Structure 1
Amino acid sequence: MKGTQHFSRMNYNVRRGLREIVAPDHRVSKQEWALVLTEFGGTCAYCGATASAENRGIVPDHLVAVTDFGELVPGNIVPACQTCNDSRGNKPWREFLAGRFPADAAGRIKRIEQYIAVHNYSPRSPESSLTPDELVQYNGLVVEWEFFLAKAQELQSKVAQRRSLAANNSFKPKSLRGSA
């Protein structure tokens, strides 16, 4: 059984956290969410399903992903079953619909575009959200994280190689094992 992938999740969460410096609005009131659900008839904007145990319910899905500075606000969310939300990942929503539900894609894209037209949203950029000094600090943090991540990945690789060699050596007869 494979591990929990904490290393890759850490990277995702740090990068997402850094983006929240730029686009901090990650909350939708219960009333706002209820209105979004009502606009889509309580169904998934992508597949049209209602909440079920099989699809693990209906959740807000970012149209502009957090990784692209999208916020959890009306105008940037649609209801999605957890199955669609998980399968979409970071794919652009139009591309996801066209690839996953080609027969229904045109109608669903039109419906989401109508929603977007009523609830205008534009993602923030670091340049438009931060002062020049803050932008320098932000960009510095991004560079520092990338450096730290590269060093951590290098160490992770070395440790994995050492463990692999040790495991392979343990299956050899003592006479064939190298001295280390």
Structure 2
Amino acid sequence: MNPLKAFQMPKQVNITARSSSITNSFVNGIIPYIYPTESEVIKVLEILELNADNLCCAYCGDKSTEWDHLRPIVKNKKPTGYISDIYNLVPACGKCNQSKGNKLWNEWIVSNAVLSPKTRGVADLEGKMIRLSVYEKWGNVEPIDFENIIEAEIWEEHWSNCDRLHKDMKKAQELAAVIKQKIKDRMDYNTNE
């Protein structure tokens, strides 16, 4: 066996690769988190036909590890108007939450996305979709128009701060690339051995 097949280089880190995390932080930083009542949680579990003692992912049925925003809170680098409340959160597993990202649940769940329930061959996908549709209608949720609530100057300042951070990250990445190349140029051993 070729020993190089056993080796795996750690993934290279890129400063600008975190730009979506920065945008998400700027959105999450302004949206309210509304904690549910016990009766609201009971209703969600009832609609989704889930058990609190053995909580499963609403999308695929695996063990739930977190609650996911059913409707995305960020789209095109801006808030969608949906918030973190019981009417927009469903139990999920890490695979589904990461795979879904900011996609619409009803398109993603039957898509060929990596780790989507369809690509994983999840049983009773149609039943899960029906329950998720019922849940989605239950709260009668409408997105909030944040821009009509907040004064224009404050709103612009918030997003200007976000843009400035992105620009600084880009400059930092460019400088990091120069530094990395200088270090590589100074190394005195052959990396191709």
Q: TM-score, normalised by structure 2?
A: 0.67
Query: How far apart in 1 are the matches of 2:189 and 2:13?
Result: 30
Asked if 1:47 is matched to 2:60, the reply is yes
Q: CA deviation at 1:93?
A: 0.9
Question: Is the helix fraction higher in 1 or 2?
Answer: 1
Number of aligned residue pairs: give it: 163
Asked if 1:28 is matched to 2:36, the reply is yes
Gaps of 5+ in 2: 1-9, 51-55, 75-79
Query: How far apart in 2 are the matches of 1:154 and 1:30?
Result: 48
Which of 28-37 and 90-99 deviates more? 28-37
Report the counterpart of residue 82 of structure 1 in structure 2: 94
Gaps of 5+ in 1: 52-56, 174-180
Indicate the SS of the match to 2:160: helix
Query: How far apart in 1 are the matches of 2:166 and 2:98?
Result: 25
Report the counterpart of residue 4 of structure 2 in structure 1: none
Of 93, 96, 101, 2:117 maps to: 101
CA contact (8 A) 2:35 2:85 kept: yes
Report the counterpart of residue 128 of structure 1 in structure 2: 148
Report the counterpart of residue 150 of structure 1 in structure 2: 167
Q: CA deviation at 1:122?
A: 1.4
Deviations 1:114-167 (A, max 9, x none): 11222211121222332xxx2321122212321232123212222222222321
CA contact (8 A) 1:20 1:69 kept: no
Indicate the SS of the match to 2:106: helix
Q: CA deviation at 1:97?
A: 0.4
* One-letter amino acid of the counterpart of residue 166, structure 1: I
Report the counterpart of residue 163 of structure 1 in structure 2: 180
Percent of pairs identical after alignment?
23
Deviations 1:55-84 (A, max 9, x none): xx3422111222233212122122212221
Q: TM-score, normalised by structure 1?
A: 0.71
- Cα pair distance change 1:118/1:152, threshold 3 Å: closer
CA contact (8 A) 2:81 2:144 kept: yes
Report the counterpart of residue 19 of structure 1 in structure 2: 27
CA contact (8 A) 1:75 1:116 kept: yes
* One-letter amino acid of the counterpart of residue 136, structure 2: I
